[in-house]
């Protein structure tokens, strides 16, 4: 496991964008897994300033809320459109998010897994990290072999995401998310974490005992994971981890 610590959030974000630009240069049909949330915003801002052959890129978002229309300002589709899709020459048929409005969620999740498989699997999965260690919307207790499915959001997650909504009540209670098993099949994984509020979960993820209680510890069994974190998120770590 590789841990890279940056002085600033901006440097961390630039590094993530460099890695994606490099992937696009190296691979003929690069397939990227993408997160939402506050942390990757700098990464997306950096990526739209890069020169790369984005039309060859295929993307799969990690998750989408259930019960929000696609056009809702806080849907993850709208998030991605506002930060990335509107700015890059991506081919619409190569952009994928789970459809949170699907009437048959199970069939939709199956379709999503099939689409990932048909694209040849995910080359690079970029993840944020929840305060409770969730990756995607895989909350504590999620089996590590889990696949894309409909899930309930932990209350702490709804509280964390309430900052994007007019009120806490408006935060959806469910989502469709890639499973931990789906995420672990990516050939390379990058985790982004920034700020002192993430210091504790970064420490638990990297140094604590792997446990179902901290979903991100599942990443410790993956052979190609890099954590890009800033000094604030690394605050509890530096005496322990060799860089
Ligand atoms: P955040 O969310 O980037 O908004 O902190 C991370 C996550 O919940 O995965």
Q: What confidence tens digit (pLDDT) does each residue in 61-98 have?
A: 999 999 999 999 999 999 999 999 999 999 999 999 99
Mutate to test the pocket of ligand 1, among 9, 16, 35, 158 (most ligand atoms within 8 A of CB): 35
Q: Please check whether residue 54 is in contact with residue 47, taking contact to mean a CB–CB distance below 8 angstroms.
A: no
Token readout for 147 is: 């696949």
Catalytic annotation, pick one of 61, 108, 113, 132: 132
pLDDT for residue 1: 86
How far is the C-alpha of 130 from the C-alpha of 171, rounded, in Å? Answer: 16
Q: Please check whether residue 136 is in contact with residue 178, taking contact to mean a CB–CB distance below 8 angstroms.
A: yes
Mutate to test the pocket of ligand 1, among 9, 34, 39, 126 (most ligand atoms within 8 A of CB): 39
How far is the C-alpha of 113 from the C-alpha of 46, rounded, in Å? Answer: 29
Listed as ranges, residues in the chain with pLDDT below 70 are: 238-243
Cβ atoms < 10 Å from Cβ of 145? 11
pLDDT for residue 151: 98
Token readout for 18 is: 């460099």
Catalytic annotation, pick one of 108, 134, 161, 230: 134
C-alpha triplet 96, 104, 151: angle, nearest 5°: 75
How far is the C-alpha of 69 from the C-alpha of 160, rounded, in Å? Answer: 21
Instruction: Identify the bridge partners of residue 151 per DSSP, sorted by sequence position.
Output: 175
Share of the chain above pLDDT 90, in %: 96
pLDDT for residue 67: 92
State the alpha helices, DSSP H only, in the chain. Answer: 9-26, 41-47, 76-80, 105-118, 155-161, 180-184, 199-207
Q: Residue 127's closest CA among 193, 66, 77, 218?
A: 193
Q: Please check whether residue 214 is in contact with residue 201, taking contact to mean a CB–CB distance below 8 angstroms.
A: yes
pLDDT for residue 61: 98
Q: Which atom of ligand 1 is nearest to the CA of 136?
A: 9
Measured in Å, residue 130 CA sits from the centre of ligand 1 at 5
DSSP letter, residue 135 = B
- The CB of 37 under 6 Å from ligand 1? The reply is yes
Q: Using CA positions, which residue lies closest to atom 2 of ligand 1?
A: 37
Q: Residue 44's closest CA among 90, 94, 73, 83?
A: 83
Q: Is 132 a catalytic residue?
A: yes
How far is the C-alpha of 211 from the C-alpha of 217, rounded, in Å? Answer: 6
pLDDT for residue 238: 62
Mutate to test the pocket of ligand 1, among 43, 61, 128 (most ligand atoms within 8 A of CB): 128
Q: Is 196 a catalytic residue?
A: no
- The CB of 98 under 6 Å from ligand 1? The reply is no
Token readout for 84 is: 């990335």
């Amino acid at each position: 496991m590789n841990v890279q610590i940056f002085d600033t959030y901006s440097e961390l974000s630039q590094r993530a964008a460099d890695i994606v630009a490099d992937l696009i240069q190296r691979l003929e049909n690069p397939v990227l897994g993408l997160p939402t949330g506050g942390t990757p915003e700098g990464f997306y801002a950096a990526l739209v300033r890069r020169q790369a052959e984005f039309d060859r890129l295929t993307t799969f978002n990690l998750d989408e809320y259930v019960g929000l229309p696609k056009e809702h300002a806080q849907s993850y589709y709208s998030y991605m459109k506002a930060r990335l899709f509107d700015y890059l020459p991506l081919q619409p048929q190569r952009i994928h998010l789970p459809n949170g409005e699907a009437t048959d969620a199970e069939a939709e999740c199956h379709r999503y897994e099939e689409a990932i498989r048909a694209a040849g699997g995910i080359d690079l999965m970029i993840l944020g990290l929840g305060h409770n260690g969730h990756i995607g919307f895989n909350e504590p207790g999620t089996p590590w072999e889990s696949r894309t499915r409909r899930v309930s959001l932990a209350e702490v997650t709804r509280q964390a995401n309430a900052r994007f909504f007019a009120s806490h009540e408006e935060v959806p209670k469910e989502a469709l998310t890639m499973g931990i098993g789906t995420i672990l099949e990516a050939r390379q994984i990058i985790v982004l974490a920034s700020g002192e509020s993430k210091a504790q979960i970064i420490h638990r993820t990297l140094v604590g005992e792997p446990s179902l209680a901290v979903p991100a510890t599942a990443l410790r069994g993956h052979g190609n994971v890099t954590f890009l974190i800033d000094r604030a998120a690394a605050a509890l770590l530096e005496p322990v981890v060799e860089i």
